[in-house]
Amino acid sequence: MNKQALRADILLLLTSCIWGFGFVAQRSGMEYVGPFAFNGIRFILGSLSLFPLIFFRQWKISGRFGGPGGRRAAVLPSLAAGSCLFIAVTLQQLGLIFTTAGNAGFITGLYVVLVPILGIFLGRKTGLPTWTGAVFTLTGLYFLSASGHLKAVNPGDLITAVSAVFWAFHVLLIDALVQRTDPLLLSSGQFGWCGLCSLAAAFLVEPLIGGWVERLNPALLASGIFSWRSLPALIAAPPSGTALLAGLIPLLYGGLASVGIAYTLQVVAQQHAPPAHATIILCLEGCFAALGGVLILGEGLGTWTILGFVLMFCGMLITQWELIMGGPRKKKAENG
């Protein structure tokens, strides 16, 4: 492996780690603010964090900051991608109310399996490895969610699984839009639109979320884990300095690290990382989410949970088997 590829793999590993621990930030952040407010603030922060990179790139390419033409062309694609992103992150954040950070990390990874399956409707070929990987992944999801109680499935896991469907749609949508839209403008635009939609929902919907959680699982609110106040209530009576600082830490991590830093690292790394390497390393996001949940949130790992993790991870890798095995042969043929 050459030095460029090794450096790219290290950057992708760091990206996977940041995203994995981001699930811990998403869950712990809801001790202070509701799910919509959390997403709204972090995605607007993430959008703004890309501005310096956008300006630097435009200056490097043209020697000046770009005109409004490129930005206008990115508006509609950003609205489309941002709307899909809003649905995906909303369901993911709501699922995190009832499930663990580790479960959410692995279940969100279902999109790795769902993307090639949904690609069938776009005329793309889906081979045996994808279907085999899907069986492994779905079996792992069942063990992960049931945790030994084969008739009981965690509703948070189901909500997160539905979010994975929209993550898969989002991947396919981005794949189509990025062909004719600047990727950094598209990313910043979709993050900004997703953040604005989330803040609007924080005012309209969030005051009702507490009652919904209390009806489904009163122990969550009684334990104080999710005893947030809605965004309108927080604005009317701001928290104390200590509580404000504690709440800012997961928000800043979710916005600046998970969105701004990790996205930039991914873009830089995938310029030199072989696709097979990128696939395997980014699948480790769920492992880092589980590790963060254990170390920071004190989440338990039972035998059924570990079995579910292993099956889901194997399923994700099997789904990408053709890419993993075909990549080196293709490169050798091109060099030969």
Number of domains in the chain: 1
Nearest to 195 by CA among 93, 264, 65: 93
What's residue 22's pLDDT?
92
Let me know if residue 308 belongs to a domain.
no
Question: Strand pairing partners for 229?
Answer: 33
Can you spell out the DSSP letters for 295-319?
Answer: HHH-----HHHHHHHHHHHHHHHHH
The Cα 255–Cα 188 span in angstroms is 12
Q: Is residue 53 part of a domain?
A: yes
In a domain? residue 311: no
Would 205 be classed as within a structural domain? Answer: yes
According to the model, what pLDDT value does residue 222 have?
A: 58
Rounded Cα–Cα distance for residues 89 and 10 (Å): 27
DSSP state of 258: I
- Along the 336 residues of the chain, how does pLDDT read in single tens digits? 577 778 888 888 899 899 999 999 988 888 888 889 999 999 999 999 988 888 887 777 766 555 555 677 789 999 999 999 999 999 999 998 888 888 888 888 888 888 888 878 777 777 777 788 888 888 888 777 766 555 567 788 889 999 999 998 988 888 888 778 888 888 899 999 999 999 999 998 887 876 777 776 666 655 555 667 778 878 887 777 777 787 889 999 999 998 888 877 876 776 677 666 676 777 788 889 888 888 888 887 778 788 888 888 888 778 767 655 654 444 443 333
Side-chain half-sphere CA neighbours of 99 within 13 A: 32
Q: Say how far apart CA 30 and CA 130 lie, in whole Å.
A: 35
Residue 228 placed within a domain: no
**Domain boundaries, position 293:** 3-98+152-219+239-300
Q: Is residue 248 part of a domain?
A: yes
Q: Determine the Cα–Cα distance for residues 259 and 55; give it in Å rounded to an integer.
A: 17
Q: How far apart are CA 281 and CA 8, in angstroms?
A: 11
pLDDT of 150: 54
Whether residue 319 is contained in a domain is answered as no
Q: What span, in angstroms and rounded, lies between the C-alpha atoms of 132 and 225?
A: 38
Buried b (16+ CB within 10 A) or exposed e, 293-311: bbeeeebeeeebbebbbeb
pLDDT at 233: 78
pLDDT of residue 261: 87
Kindly state whether residue 106 falls inside one of the protein's structural domains.
no
